[in-house]
Chains A and B, each alone.
Chain A
Amino acid sequence: MGVGIRVTNLNAWYGDNHTLQDINLHMPANNATALIGPSGCGKSTFVRCLNRMHETNPIARATGSVMMGDLDIYKDASPVEVRRRVGMVFQRPNPFPTMSIYDNVASGLRLNGFRNRRVLDEVVERSLRSAALWDEVKDDLKRKSGASISGGQQQRLCIARALAVDPEVLLMDEPASALDPVSTSKIEDLIFQLKSQYTIVIVTHNMQQAARVAENTGFFLNGKMIEFAATHKIFTNPTDKRTEDYITGRFG
């Protein structure tokens, strides 16, 4: 089950660069929310603030509050605890190259000290099935490295790895931007299925992708959130002139 996310007055900096300015929004549970905007607009920084990955960079900091359900992730929990509740899929597939497919999926649990083999077997299979990868890799689980499969498969492996820790929220930072069209459509199908169980936040360049998978869409520009509304409203009848310019391609 996912939880809703309520962001209040979120600000973020890289050094002196104020990359996110006063972001406020509410993302409902078990829904997909798309974030769109030109590159460098802060949308990636925003999702990285949602699992406190932003602060792994020593010059970065953030203020404000992010509530996941009843949990204020900046007050009530350490970054490690937050990240166990929030799965993340990155722009480029990043499986662990020295681990087998099985070990990749099991890594989130194993590296956190989980030892029960039967449960691990179960979790690995279920996660790979949820990521629509099981049938393609079930014969090579422990034989092949996570880096030896195709790019599209690697990305689904990364999704399976994120699902294996049973997160409440799944963050996806342009998960299909490095993939071919066939793999992209597989990932989109997957997002469509997963959002019944997880709250999904997906950053994308691709407006069609946002329109296809997300209930709500937020438009970012220069570190500010310009507009946040139901996806069909953003794409058919945006309130803000700048959103409209971006949607219709009149922007930069």
Chain B
Amino acid sequence: MRDSIKTGRVRSAWRWSANHVFTLLAVGSTVLVLAPLVAIFIYLLYKGASSLNWAFFTQIPKPVGESGGGMANAIVGSGIILAIASAIGIPIGIAGGVYLSEYGRGRMLANAVRFTADVLNGVPSIVMGISVYALIVLKAKHFSGYSGGVALGIMMIPTVIRTTEEMLLTVPSAIREAALGLGVPAWRAVVSVSLKTASPGIITGCMLAFARVAGETAPLLFTAFGNAFWSTNPNQPMAALPLQIYVYAISPYDDWHRLAWAGALVLIAMIMVSVSLVRYVASRGILKGAS
């Protein structure tokens, strides 16, 4: 009798401490995960901001040995490459998502597209880079900004397809029926009612896809290639911010390291600014009480 009470007590003491150890572990791992994040941001701000100056935005890289210089060409190049990527990835992705949600419900084909999109999302970006290299660069016999845009654009498609579909699925079918019931042609109902109703979510999804490819380096290594000089011709090798950061980071020069930090800060700031800008512009013009 006494024994069983005793073992019961031991057992509950064990359970009590197991519970606390577990709590401690969960809290501890959260702290451990947040630590590098905080560290990365502090470093970025500290190192990046102290290396930023006006020249960074206005000058092109100086040759090795000369101090100073900037990444103006890389900022512009990234802008051009991303514009090309968005022009490819966003329309195709949205259209694909429209098909999945508005026409493909319950169909095998739609499930296959969905699955393939998810799988494609996991294909390493470097693989995308060498495929586009083989398709475009090898045939044109030179690196080019637009081949970089194509590689990034293709990478955007699966993300945009999936988020567009998910956002369209949140549009109540009653609203589609309302449009069809008015005798509106199906394509018009999709564009002016379904897509319009889901547009805040779709825009967010597109911006996420954009943000993801904006920092991509690997697919640009063998497509845009990088350029130490001004290049706004998309048919020529083109500088891009992530490429430039990479090159400078692995270089042996302190001055270039500082520029790399500044570049990383600018890259992240540009991604965040463009994402919030688009969301802000998109959120204006939405009516009172609209969901």
Contacts and interface: CB of A to CB of B under 8 A. Distances in A.
A149 B290 CA distance: 10
A8 interface: no
Nearest to A103: B287
Interface bracket on B: 20 to 34
Nearest to A95: B178
Nearest to A82: B183
Contact of A145 (B106, B178, B189, B288): B288
Contacts of B289: 97, 144-145, 147-149
B281 to A, nearest CB: 16
Interface in B163-182: 172, 174-175, 177-182
Contacts of B183: 80-85, 108, 112, 165
A203 interface: no
Contacts of A85: 183
A202 B165 CA distance: 35
A96 interface: yes
Of B193, B197, B287, which is in contact with the most chain A CB atoms at under 10 Å from its CB? B287
A158 B65 CA distance: 72
B179 A143 contact: no
A85 B105 CA distance: 29
B188 A97 contact: no
Contacts, number: 97
A158 B289 CA distance: 17
Interface residues of A, number: 35
A95 B174 CA distance: 9
B286 interface: yes
Contacts of B291: 97, 147
A51 B179 CA distance: 13
Contact of A111 (B174, B179, B199): B179
A147 B184 contact: no
A99 B286 CA distance: 9
B62 interface: no
Interface stretch (A86-94, A125-133, A210-218, A221-229): A86-94
B99 to A, nearest CB: 14
A98 B288 CA distance: 9
Given A98-B286, A111-B192, A145-B288, A158 B178 contact: yes
A74 B105 CA distance: 25
B178 A84 contact: no
B199 A98 contact: yes
Nearest to B105: A58
Given A56-B180, A100-B287, A94 B189 contact: no
Interface in A9-64: 51, 53, 56, 58
A94 B181 CA distance: 11
B172 A94 contact: yes
Contacts of B192: 107, 111
B252 interface: no
15 contacts: A53-B180, A58-B106, A80-B184, A90-B177, A90-B178, A96-B196, A97-B291, A98-B196, A107-B179, A111-B184, A112-B183, A143-B287, A144-B288, A145-B288, A165-B183
Closest 3 CB pairs of A and B: A148-B289, A84-B183, A83-B183
